[in-house]
Amino acid sequence: MQLLFTNSGSDKIVPQILSSTENNLTVVTEFFLLGFQGGKHFRMILFCLLLVVYCGTICGNLLIITLVSTSKNLHTPMYFFISQLSIGDILLTTNIAPNMFHILPNDGAIITFAGCMTQLYFFCASEAFECLLLTVMSYDRYVAICNPLRYTSIMTSDYCVILAMICWSLGFSITLLDTITISMLVFCEQSIIDHFFCDPLPLLEVACSDTFIIRLELFLLGIPSIFIPTIIIIYSYVNIVLAIIRIPSSIGRSKAFSTCSSHLTVVSIFYWTLFSVYVVPSRGQSLTISKVLSLLYTVFTPMINPIIYSFRNKDIKKAVYDMIHEYRT
């Protein structure tokens, strides 16, 4: 495949991707990611901002993983799941950000077909994993508040590891079928993707073959990975709210709510952006808005998560203090 640049009658240089053909069948070996369109200064400012966010994401989530691994006070189911979420956040943002740092300064960049499918797979897998893990975390809070006397006997360390392994396994297996079927599509010769990474919906837009079956498949696979977890989370928090209301002491209600407020905030941000882009996108929603929303949950949310879980969290603050004190001595 060759990448040519043609002038369309304006100052904008339009990339034209030529595909190799075999028996009149177009074989696309590369895609061109447009990224964010704008002036050079805008793209460089965005590049610097995202670089700072990416570094903060890696440092913040690595700190959470280190603290949970080394501090005995954080060896609880809730913090174990938070460390798993941090691993998923690192995987998600590392899958997207480095290639974006190449796209922004160059006003677009080529990605190979294999690279695009790999990025698509790890993106979908990490998103599915986080949906399932947030569901497990809501179940953990449900047991802690609605059945506190049996919490330690139910949420044992072995059971928590099994739940985490199920989330990882399902996340990476459910999305494998999506990636395989999308990779079998016939793509148009001029395969220019108006996005900053290989997202499923923009990929389907540049496909020349019929995508009805693929879209139906995405919807059906979204039932176990998105819709069922959403129902479980809503059910869990309805029961949590009812249990908190029944607590006679205002101090007890405040303490009970504080144990799940951070998780509820993370769930709200994650699902709001996810549903806005994939489940109920507005027909009038522009590509720019879609890309901004995608940027929120692929780059900014992974940075916000450790901040939310650390803010006003005495256990994590104490673990940080102990780690710094131990390092100084």
pLDDT for residue 286: 63
Q: Is residue 25 scored above 50 in pLDDT?
A: no
Q: What percent of the chain lies above the pLDDT cut of 70?
A: 88
Please name the residues in contact with 180: beta carbons below 8 A apart, sequence gap of 6 or more: none
What mean pLDDT comes out for the span 221-246?
90
pLDDT for residue 88: 94
pLDDT for residue 285: 56
Reported pTM: 0.86
pLDDT for residue 329: 67
Q: Is residue 160 scored above 80 in pLDDT?
A: yes
Which of the four pLDDT bands, split at 50, 70 and 90, describes residue 292? confident
pLDDT for residue 311: 67
**Tokens read off for 105:** 């300064």
pLDDT for residue 312: 63
Which pLDDT tens digit goes with each residue over 66-110?
999 988 888 899 999 999 999 999 999 999 999 999 998 988 899
Cα distances from 292 to residues 42, 168, 266, 277, 288, in angstroms, run 14, 27, 18, 10, 6
Top pLDDT among 12 and 307 is at: 307
pLDDT for residue 187: 84
Kindly state which CATH superfamily the domain 2-328 is placed in: Rhodopsin 7-helix transmembrane proteins (1.20.1070.10)
Q: Is residue 19 scored above 60 in pLDDT?
A: no
Determine whether 115 is exposed, middle or buried from the number of CB atoms within 10 Å of its CB (0-12, 13-18, 19+).
middle
Please name the residues in contact with 12: beta carbons below 8 A apart, sequence gap of 6 or more: none
Which of the four pLDDT bands, split at 50, 70 and 90, describes residue 313? confident
Task: Point out the least confidently predicted range of 146-160, 233-247, 312-326.
Answer: 312-326
What mean pLDDT comes out for the span 163-173?
94
Task: Point out the least confidently predicted range of 91-95, 117-121, 131-135, 205-209.
Answer: 205-209
Which pLDDT tens digit goes with each residue over 242-256?
988 888 888 878 877
pLDDT for residue 17: 47
pLDDT for residue 1: 44
Q: Is residue 2 scored above 50 in pLDDT?
A: no
Q: Is residue 283 scored above 80 in pLDDT?
A: no
**Mean pLDDT score across all residues of the chain:** 84
What mean pLDDT comes out for the span 117-145?
93
DSSP string, 210-235: --HHHHHHHHHHHIIIIIHHHHHHHH
Q: Which of 91, 127, 102 lies closest to 36 in space, CA to CA?
A: 102
Which of the four pLDDT bands, split at 50, 70 and 90, describes residue 134? very high
